[in-house]
C-alpha cells in the first residue's frame, strides 16, 4: 500500500535548520570519564550498552562487539567488507566517507564485531548493513548512514529494499549514536526474532519508513529504545509488532506526518518521559498492552478511536536499572547529543 511522504524540499529545510545545534556540539571539549568511557561536557559515553543488549540470553553474554579482537581502521568498501564478514572479532573504525557500490548494497556483518565511526566523519553512503539469522554480539556506532533513495520508487519506497541497518533474528545488538537518513526503505528494521537489542542516542531523520519491528508470529523479542531523535519522518517510529518486552524512554519525536509509536500484535510496551512535538497519533495501541507515563505531547493530535494505553505491560526495572531524564529536557538533550559525537571512535 502506498504511504504518504512529506515533500523532500520541506523536510530537507527542516533537517538543515535542526543540524545547527548538532554541529555546534562537535567542538565541545573532551574530558576523561571515571567510568571508562569518554565525556562530551557532562555526558559520558561508555563503550558497552545498557538495556536489554546488556543482559545475557540466547546462550550469549552481554553485548561487547569486537572487544578482545584486533582494531583496524578502514577507508574503503573493500576493507570494510573484508573485516565485517571475517570470522574473527574486530573493532572496525570507519575513518571518513565510504561510498558503497552498487547502490543499495547491504554489507553482511558477522558476529563479534564493532563498527564505529571515527569522530563525526565516519559515513556509509549509498548502502548499509545486514545482520542475518544467527549473528550475535554486534555494535554499530557513531556513523552516518545515508542516501539510497530511488526517485523511480516514490512515494512508497516499495520496490528497492535498501535499509541502513537490517537485522533478521540476530541477538545482542547495540545501535548507538548513528545518524540514519534518506534511505529508500527503512532506516532500521528489527525483523523476525531479533532480541537483546538496544537502540540509543540515534538521529533518525528525513525518511518515509523509519524503524519497523516485527515480521514474526513469535513473541520472544526484548528491546530497549532510548534517547533517540525521530525527526521529519513518516511511518514506523517505531511500529512494534509481537515484542515480548519493549521499553521506550526519553525519545524525541518531531514533525512526524504518519504516526508515532505504534504498538501492535501481542507486544507489551512501556513508554516513559518522551517528548512529542507535531506528531500525528503520538503513541497508541491496537493490540497488546501499552503503559505510558511522564510523557509530554505538544502540537499533536490523536485520531478518533486511538487507544493511548491498555493493560499493565511489564516492569522494566525487573530486568535492569536505568535513569530517566525529565521529559522537558529531552528536546535540547537530543539536539545536542543524538547522532555521531566527536569524541567517540578515536
Question: In Å, how far are 37, 186, 208, 268, 333 from 205, measured between CA atoms?
Answer: 27, 11, 9, 26, 16
Q: With 0-12 CB in 10 A as exposed, 13-18 as middle and 19+ as buried, what is 125? A: middle
d(CA 280, CA 258) in angstroms, rounded, equals: 6
Asked if residues 244 and 318 have their Cβ atoms less than 8 Å apart, the reply is no
DSSP letters, 198-215, are: EEES-EEEEEEEEEEEE-
Asked if residues 331 and 229 have their Cβ atoms less than 8 Å apart, the reply is no
Q: How far is the first Cα of the chain from the last one, in angstroms, to the nearest whole number?
A: 44
d(CA 126, CA 80) in angstroms, rounded, equals: 14
Asked if residues 224 and 199 have their Cβ atoms less than 8 Å apart, the reply is yes
Positions marked active-site: 236
Asked if residues 177 and 344 have their Cβ atoms less than 8 Å apart, the reply is yes
Among 178, 284, 167, residue whose Cα is nearest residue 229: 178
Q: Please state, as a whole number, how many other Cβ atoms lie within 10 Å of the Cβ of residue 67.
A: 14
d(CA 182, CA 246) in angstroms, rounded, equals: 26
Amino acid at each position: 500500500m502506498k504511504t504518504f511522504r512529506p515533500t523532500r524540499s520541506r523536510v530537507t529545510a527542516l533537517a538543515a535548520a535542526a543540524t545547527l545545534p548538532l554541529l555546534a556540539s562537535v567542538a565541545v571539549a573532551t574530558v576523561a570519564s571515571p567510568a571508562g568511557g569518554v565525556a562530551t561536557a557532562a555526558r559520558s559515553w561508555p563503550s558497552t550498552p545498557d538495556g536489554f543488549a546488556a543482559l545475557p540470553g540466547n546462550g550469549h553474554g552481554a553485548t561487547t562487539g569486537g572487544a578482545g579482537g584486533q582494531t583496524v581502521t578502514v577507508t574503503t568498501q573493500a576493507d570494510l567488507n573484508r573485516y565485517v564478514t571475517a570470522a574473527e572479532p574486530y573493532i572496525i573504525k570507519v575513518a571518513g566517507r565510504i561510498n558503497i557500490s552498487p547502490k543499495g548494497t547491504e554489507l553482511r556483518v558477522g558476529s563479534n564485531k564493532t563498527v564505529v565511526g571515527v569522530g563525526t566523519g565516519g559515513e556509509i553512503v549509498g548502502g548499509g548493513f545486514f545482520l542475518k539469522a544467527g549473528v550475535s554480539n554486534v555494535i554499530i556506532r557513531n556513523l552516518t548512514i545515508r542516501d539510497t533513495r530511488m526517485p523511480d520508487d516514490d512515494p512508497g519506497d516499495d520496490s528497492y529494499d535498501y535499509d541502513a541497518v537490517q537485522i533478521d533474528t540476530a541477538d545482542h545488538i547495540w545501535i548507538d549514536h548513528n545518524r540514519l537518513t534518506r534511505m529508500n526503505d527503512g532506516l532500521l528494521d528489527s525483523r523476525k526474532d531479533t532480541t537483546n537489542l538496544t537502540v540509543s542516542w540515534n538521529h533518525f531523520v528525513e525518511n518515509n519508513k523509519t524503524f519497523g519491528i516485527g515480521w514474526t508470529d513469535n513473541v520472544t523479542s526484548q528491546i530497549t529504545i532510548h534517547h533517540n531523535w525521530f525527526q521529519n519522518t513518516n511511518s514506523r517510529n517505531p511500529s512494534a509488532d509481537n515484542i515480548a518486552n519493549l521499553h521506550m524512554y526519553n525519545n524525541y519525536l518531531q514533525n512526524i506526518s504518519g504516526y508515532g509509536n505504534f504498538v501492535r500484535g501481542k507486544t507489551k510496551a512501556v513508554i516513559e518521559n518522551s517528548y512529542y512535538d507535531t506528531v500525528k497519533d503520538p503513541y497508541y495501541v491496537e493490540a497488546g498492552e501499552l503503559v505510558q507515563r511522564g510523557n509530554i505531547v505538544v502540537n499533536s493530535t490523536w485520531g478518533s478511536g486511538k487507544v493511548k494505553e491498555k493493560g499493565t505491560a511489564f516492569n522494566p526495572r525487573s530486568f535492569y536499572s536505568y535513569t530517566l531524564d525529565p521529559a522537558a529536557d529531552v528536546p535540547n538533550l537530543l539536539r545536542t547529543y543524538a547522532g555521531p559525537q566527536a569524541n567517540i571512535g578515536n
